[in-house]
Structure 1
Amino acid sequence: MKHPIFRKIFLLAITLLTFRAGAQTLLDSTALDKLSDQDKPALLTQLAERSRINGEYDAAIAKARESMALAIKSKNISEATKAYAVQVSVYATTKQFVLSKNVSDTTLSLAQKSKQPVALAYAYYAQALFYNAIDNAEEVTKYCQLALKSLGKKDDPYLSAKLYYQLYMLSSRRDDVKNVNKYARAAAGNALKTNDYNLLGNCYIALSIAADYNYAGSKNELFRDSIIYYLNKTQGLYREYPKYVARKTYAMSCINSADYYLRYFSDTDLQAKANAIRYAGLANEVMKAAINGEEIRASGLGILSEYAKRDKNFIMAEAYLQEAYSVLKSKKVPYYSTMITVVTALSNFYEERGSYEKALEFQKKATEYSNKFFDEKRTLNAQKLEVQYEAEKKNNEVKLLKQSEKYARQQKYLYIGIAIASLLGLIFMFRSYHFRLRYSLQREKQLNLEKQDAELQMKLEKEEKARLKAEQQLLESQQQQLQKEVMANQLQLEHKKEMLFQIKEKLGVAPQLNINKIWNEELLLDNDFEEAKFQIQQVHPEFFSLLNQRAQQKLTALDLKLCAYLHLKMDTKKIAQLMHVEAKSVRMSRYRIKQKLGLGKEEDLNLFLQDIG
């Protein structure tokens, strides 16, 4: 069975790692006054790291800066980069991303100038710490690999353990079981060569988590037993070296041990239950006076609450959860993710017990903390993105600077080559003078010919453009003439049709003329006005469509015919003759068409139709 509170702490174990200057003997602050300025930086860096893991961040920064100043004064660049790395770690832990980036860049710049492999390795490690803080896994991997490559054959097991531990953390985030095992073993193997027991304790926790992954995949009980074996190793280190193993490291191993018994043993196993309760109580007790121990205490209390619920001791289950809630609230800025888990557990507990008002109260708190957690994450993500953008911008500027330096070197070589070439040219100048003169004259003549050819070409292009323009104007003129001719022919056909109607009326009583046959033949020659309109549109396709678009009321075929006559500039009398109506009817039709086209009284229909044409 998994409990969300303590499971989170189980995974949190991968994030706690100490930094030590690499000295092989354990020193105390009382020995500081006995050391020379050259020997002090190593101890100061160790003390700074001890303050950092105990949550005393101001003291850690102060000691790291003192160490860095003394190291630079004595020109010990390797020790200076180690002190800088502690500062980067503190700023990363406290989410001061800008300071973390600035100090890591300063460290890298200092190490690159010194060209010392160990200094470069620590500078790359500082960069990895910064990019780990802003969740850029690709850059963390890159700088860890660069640091390991920079170390080469240099024997620095402490830094190697740190670097492999960083790679192990990245693998655990991706659930990459193969690399989790690989890097956890590499980190522990190097940590065993040092006297940094807190580092070794964290590596043992890493091995226990690797064993947990292995057991989840294989269900082999040997892996399950390895989990508690490595956690016991961490606890043994704390009992043997309490001054040099952080209480938080010990407390997390206890929480993970309690989690181990809770998840892998049945409710009826009284010994497992006793062990889990004992470890949860140890974690809670050891972190009572520790800085930033609230989350671990809440996790321990969560485990105790879980066992109380199993025993049907609901009073104690509630008390443990309420105490966890109070512990988390005592922190100025609570751990919102753990707080959400605790208040949700309280809400579920009260709901199961039928106390719906309290359940609702804590559910509201869960929502409130969820919103705060979201806001906090959003703010942090914005800061990370901003710092990452600035980091990438700065990295690009560095790349451009390096390219500029490369180009400058190339330019320098180029100038040297030019100077040599110029010297050689001077030696042979007199011998080649006449030859170059003749070549210059020929070249000038060739350029003049090319210039003349270009001018001639431009002139031909202008003439060609003028010719094309004239042809286009001619075509437009011919098209306009054709338009008028086609429209006139079509209107003549309409007139012919009207004449045929008159003949039919007059001679309809004389069947011997077979006027109906004549009428049908005439109709075949000129189908109807719609066909005439189609033909007109082949030459003047927009005339009738534009009229219909402008018309506010539908124009009849007779209206369109009258518009065509007016477009051809025929007067009223002529139009009346062609249409076999009185002039008065033509004027009435003109008035009606103006209304359909939406023209005002003062607007001239003839001019309007000419403009459309």
Structure 2
Amino acid sequence: MKEYLTALKYLEGMQSWKNESLLYYKLYGNHAELNDLPNEDKYARLCLATALKSNNAEAICLAWQAMASNYTDQYEAGNNKLLLDSALYAGKQSLQVFKQQEDYIILQSQFAIVALNIASLYYLNIKPLQADSMKHYLQLAMVSGNKNNNTAVQVNSLAMLSHYQRQQGNMAGAESSLLQAKQIAENVKVKEHAVLHRLYLSLSEFYEETGHYQNALQYYKQSKDAFATLNNVQKQADIHLLEAQFNMEKKEQALYNMTQKATFRMKQIYLYIGIIILAFAGLLFMFRSYNYRLKYSIKKQQLLQTEKEEASLLAKLQEEERARLYLQKQDAELRAQLHQEHVKLKTEEAARLAAEAQLIQTQKEQLQKELLAGALHLEHKNDMLQNLKEKLQTEQISGKATRQLHKIINEEIRLDEDFENLKTELKDVHPQFFSRIQQHSKQKLTALDLKYCAYISMKLSTKQMALLLHVEPTSIRMNKYRIKQKMGLAKEDDLESFIARLSEI
């Protein structure tokens, strides 16, 4: 098998499909004899695949025959009915190819072998027995065997027919078939002792079954003689094979010795040629070495000069780089200094603006308080004058004094308009104060309530407010409580703090 595998490796890539198919067929046959079912299946399939690629009728016919035998062996191992159908299909494919391409097939006996195998499948494996199909393929095998003088196929076909006839009870037909097979096997020039051995044994078994013991013993002896002759022939064949192998080995050894001598002589020739080449190479090396040294010396001088120039240029570049880095450093320092100055100026400007804003806010608050105080004082004075006028109208005093008082009161009343102007100015300074007070109140506040709120905003105490309004401090506290209720504040809330928060908004 190693030789077949080596041959296959040699054929790789050559697309010699026919030869590859034949080699795979040989490998299939070897593994089938060894009962190696996996490799038998593998190489049978490869045989068919390469045969189909070759488009060679004989190779394809042989490959389908291999597949039929492979399926039969696989069936016998696993008893899978599908494999039996596959075996029949493959066998029939082989016969079909043979019929279509008969003129192009050299091995004509192949048709008879395939037909006999199909008949055997029908007889041994197909249940129930399909007798007509079996007889049909037996007839094909016998006709082809007779045409091509294939004694083994004819005898085996008649033996199978005899066995079938015995099963059917046709003993006369079974005997006739076996005797016809005996006549065919004995009348050939070259006896096939293996066929004769099996045939005589079948005749012996037949006559023993039918009670003709003398005939049975006679054919049993003939079977033993045929087997002995077969062994002698096999031994002679083995002896001839061994002699052939020995002679082949002697020739191979002689050829090996001659090859070794030729190889040794060739090695000597190669050695001499090598010595000459080495001598020439040595001279060439010496010449090239001298030439190389000369070129190396010149190249070294040029390299030293180049390195000197490069060093000078590098020093100049380093100096320029240092100068550039120094300028970059100076520029960075200047930029940092300018940035610091800019930040400092921005900080100072922000502080100045904040101080000015604070000053403006302080002045604004001070002016607001002054305006509010003046307005409240003016309102208080006008109230007092109004009360005085009313009292003068109800009490009796001299006419002159009355005129003088009226003059003074009228002058004072004229100042009422100033309160509204002051109030307007107060709104300009703090325009949201009175409206914000009204917005946060749950009930509308009166002018007196707003006056109290203004006093509270000015942070006047209860005592100061009582002196200005000429009322008791208790009245002031009652008015504060009433304003707190109008504002909707809780009992724990502080009115002064609430108004102060509204003043700061």
With the shorter chain as reference, the TM-score category is 0.5 to 0.7
Residues 1:149 and 1:421: Cα distance change in structure 2 (over 3 Å): closer
Percentage of pairs with the same residue: 26
User: Aligned equivalents of 1:150 and 1:393: distance in 2?
Assistant: 26
Q: CA deviation at 1:353?
A: 1.1
CA–CA separation in structure 1 for the residues paired with 2:126 and 2:28 = 28
- Residue 142 (structure 1) aligned with residue 38 (structure 2): no
Alignment of 1:216 with 2:76, yes or no, is yes
Q: How far has the Cα of 1:395 moved from its partner?
A: 2.1
Alignment partner of 1:412 is 2:269: yes
Deviation at 1:265, TM superposition (A): 3.0
Q: Which residue of 1 aligns with 2:112?
A: 251
Q: Give the 3-state SS of the residue equivalent to 1:154 in structure 2.
A: coil
- Say whether the 8 Å CA contact 2:74–2:83 is kept in structure 1: yes
What is aligned with 2:16? Answer: 156
Contact 2:185 2:196 in 1 (8 A): yes
Q: Measure how far apart 1:285 and its partner are.
A: 2.0
**Counterparts of residues 384-533 of structure 1 (less than 5 Å):** 384-416=241-273
Task: State how far apart, in whole Å, the 2-side matches of 1:233 and 1:421 are.
Answer: 68
Residues 451-477 of structure 1: CA distance to partner in whole angstroms, max 9, x if unpaired? xxxxxxxxxxxxxxxxxxxxxxxxxxx
In 1: Cα distance, 2:51 partner to 2:277 partner: 59
**1:333-372 matches, cutoff 5 A:** 333-372=190-229
Amino acid at match of 2:42: K
- Amino acid aligned to 1:307: Y
Deviates more, 1:368-377 or 1:409-418: 409-418
- Counterparts of 1:247 and 1:410 in 2: how far apart (Å)? 53
| The one of 143, 148, 151 aligned to 1:294 | 151
How far the C-alpha of 1:187 sits from its partner, in A, is: 1.4
1:348 is matched by which residue type in structure 2?
Answer: E
Structure 2 CA distance for aligned equivalents of residues 423 and 282 of structure 1:
79
Q: Are residue 313 (structure 1) and residue 313 (structure 2) matched? A: no
CA distance in 1, matches of 2:17, 2:280: 58
Aligned equivalents of 2:179 and 2:58: distance in 1? 32
Whether the aligned pair in 2 keeps the contact of 1:261 and 1:275 (CA below 8 Å) is yes
**Which residue of 132, 136, 158 corresponds with 1:278?**
136
- Cα distance in 2 for partners of 1:142, 1:149 equals 11
Distance 1:384 1:254 in 2: 33
Which of 182, 186, 193 in structure 1 is aligned with 2:46?
A: 186
1:1-12 maps to which residues of 2 (within 5 A)? Answer: none
Gapped regions of structure 1 (runs ≥ 5)? 1-140, 426-613
Superposed CA offset, 1:562-601 (max 9, x none): xxxxxxxxxxxxxxxxxxxxxxxxxxxxxxxxxxxxxxxx
CA contact (8 A) 1:247 1:287 kept: no
Cα deviation code 1:364-386 (max 9, x no counterpart): 21122112111111111111111
Alpha-carbon shift at residue 400 of structure 1 (Å): 2.7
Q: Displacement of 1:419 after TM fit?
A: 6.1
What are the superposed Cα offsets for residues 276-334 of structure 1, whole Å, 9 maximum, x if unpaired?
Answer: 1221122112222323x111011110110011000111001111111111111111122
For 1:144 and 1:234, the matched residues in 2 are separated by: 24
Comparing 226-235 with 151-160, which one deviates more in the overlay? 151-160
Q: 1:233 aligns with which of 52, 69, 93?
A: 93
Give SS of 2:54's match.
coil
RMSD: 2.4
Match of 1:328 among 162, 174, 185: 185
State the one-letter code of the partner of 1:360. Answer: L
Q: Provide the secondary structure at the position in 1 that maps to 2:102.
A: coil
Q: Report how far residue 173 of structure 1 moved.
A: 2.0
Distance 1:323 1:165 in 2: 34
1:164 to partner: Cα distance: 1.4
Distance of aligned partners of 1:416 and 1:196 in 2 relative to their CA distance in 1, 3 Å threshold: closer
Per-residue deviation, 1:206: 0.3
CA distance in 2, matches of 1:239, 1:151: 30
Q: Following TM superposition, by how much is the alpha carbon of 1:402 offset from its aligned partner in structure 2, in angstroms?
A: 2.8
Q: Distance in 1 between matches of 2:200 and 2:31?
A: 31
Query: What corresponds to 1:568 in structure 2?
Result: none
User: Structure 1, residues 53-97: CA drift from partner, whole Å, max 9, x if none?
Assistant: xxxxxxxxxxxxxxxxxxxxxxxxxxxxxxxxxxxxxxxxxxxxx
Kindly state the Cα deviation for residue 420 of structure 1 after the two structures are TM-superposed. Answer: 7.6
Whether 1:170 and 2:27 are equivalent positions in the alignment is no
Contact residue 343 and residue 365 of structure 1 kept, 8 A: yes
**Preserved contact between residue 198 and residue 249 of structure 1 (Cα < 8 Å):** no
> Size of the alignment, in residue pairs?
282
1:15 aligns with none
Match of 2:418 in 1: none
* Equivalent position of 1:541 in the other structure: none
Amino acid at match of 2:102: P
CA distance, structure 2, for counterparts of residue 247 and residue 312 of structure 1? 35
1:302, 1:320 within 8 Å by CA — same for their partners in 2?
A: yes
- Report the CA distance between 1:190 and its aligned residue: 1.4
* Residues 33-56 of structure 1: CA deviation (Å, up to 9, x unaligned): xxxxxxxxxxxxxxxxxxxxxxxx
Structure showing the higher helix proportion among its residues: 2
Instruction: Identify the residue that residue 56 of structure 2 maps to in structure 1.
Output: 196
Name the aligned partner's letter for residue 243 of structure 2.
E
SS at match of 2:146: coil
Change (3 A) 1:340 1:424: closer
- CA positional deviation for 1:218: 2.1
What is the identity, as a one-letter code, of the residue corresponding to 2:24? Y
Q: Does 1:261 align with 2:122?
A: yes
Distance 2:62 2:216 in 1: 39
SS across alignment from 1:193: helix
State the Cα distance separating 1:243 from its structure 2 match: 2.3
Q: Which has the larger radius of gyration?
A: 2
The reply to whether residue 373 of structure 1 matches residue 230 of structure 2 is yes
Q: Deviations along 1:420-449, whole A, 9 cap, x unmatched?
A: 889999xxxxxxxxxxxxxxxxxxxxxxxx
SS at match of 1:303: helix
Offset at residue 417 of structure 1 (A): 5.5
Paired residues of 2:16 and 2:54 also in contact (CA < 8 A): no
Q: Deviations over 1:108-152 (max 9, x none)?
A: xxxxxxxxxxxxxxxxxxxxxxxxxxxxxxxxx333233322223
2:113 alignment partner, SS class: helix
SS of the aligned residue for 1:309 comes to helix
**Rounded Cα–Cα distance in structure 2 between residues aligned with 1:275 and 1:265:** 10
